[in-house]
Structure 1
């Protein structure tokens, strides 16, 4: 079991204020999305061989926005319920979850630059497996603090399962080589 690592955890105020908890992942996810140039990303997505069942590119933005908002609300809820508990074990679980949350958010935010920006499907696949594992553990930890907080991460975990399929499938179908497919489009 890992523990609370203050140097690897977002500041308390992010978890204490609902607006900060919800808007931070939404804003960071949006910034990453735009930093990888949406038109270029859509062109890359269309150029790659993708596994069956891949959704149209326009689905990802709204889906991730909703998932980031739920993730942020889960963080706010688990932190505030946990930190107000009289049980020291619950307080520790809330702090532990805050560290896991920060780690999963970092892993989440580097996936798109790895996959689309740098065209590194193997690194992106390793990242998304780690992300899914950390998020599953986070749901377990925060579920012990507050069942609703744990269940709020269930749609995110389901989407991550689907994203694993898409990521690994695209990697496999393109022989784990995106050269010539990523970064060759005109900057837009």
Structure 2
């Protein structure tokens, strides 16, 4: 069964192209953002009881765009440095495995918004985001053995994931883990 896992990886030809590796997560994140009906998402966000330090809704788009770009750049560095022909077999294997992990974490990241705002399942969204923190901490560890710059690129993402976890769990708790009736009513 584990022999199928590498087939989940974004193709190395995409990740070895700098623009493609940066733009792919940005495009996917943008598509998910627009696919979840932004005006309805914003109304739900504003209707929720939120923990202190909640940022205004307009902050999320620019922050995620930068974070997606930085994670794409980091994956590009790993693909070009870790998969080059002169790299040792151990480095190549670590790079391949870590790029599979990168792809899986990107999928989990993209699943969060529909889980929280469309399905209105804050429990599952909280599990998703806590899993993302663990995966990305391990990803930073793996990438540190290949390229320190790529590993350090994970630090802002991990910081934001920590803050987003606080917001997600806080909103879930303050709203009784049920968001189904949370939406600003149309006038």
Alignment check: 8 A CA contact 1:40 1:185 kept: no
Aligned to 1:158: 159
User: What's the CA shift for 1:88?
Assistant: 1.2
User: What's the CA shift for 1:86?
Assistant: 2.9
Alignment check: 8 A CA contact 1:44 1:116 kept: yes
Aligned to 2:91: 90
Alignment check: 8 A CA contact 1:82 1:90 kept: yes
How many residue pairs end up in the alignment? 184
Structure 2: distance between partners of 1:153 and 1:66: 12
Q: Which moved more, 1:57-66 or 1:138-147?
A: 138-147
1:9-58: per-residue Cα shift (whole Å, max 9, x none)? 11122211011100000000000000111111111110000000010000
Alignment check: 8 A CA contact 2:78 2:150 kept: yes
Structure 1: distance between partners of 2:176 and 2:43: 19
Pair 4,160 (structure 1): closer, same or farther in 2 beyond 3 Å: farther
Off by >4 Å, runs of 4+ in structure 1: none
Q: Does 1:149 align with 2:150?
A: yes
Aligned to 1:104: 105
Structure 1: distance between partners of 2:143 and 2:69: 16
1:1-188 equivalence runs, <5 A: 5-84=5-84, 85-181=86-182
Pair 135,3 (structure 1): closer, same or farther in 2 beyond 3 Å: farther
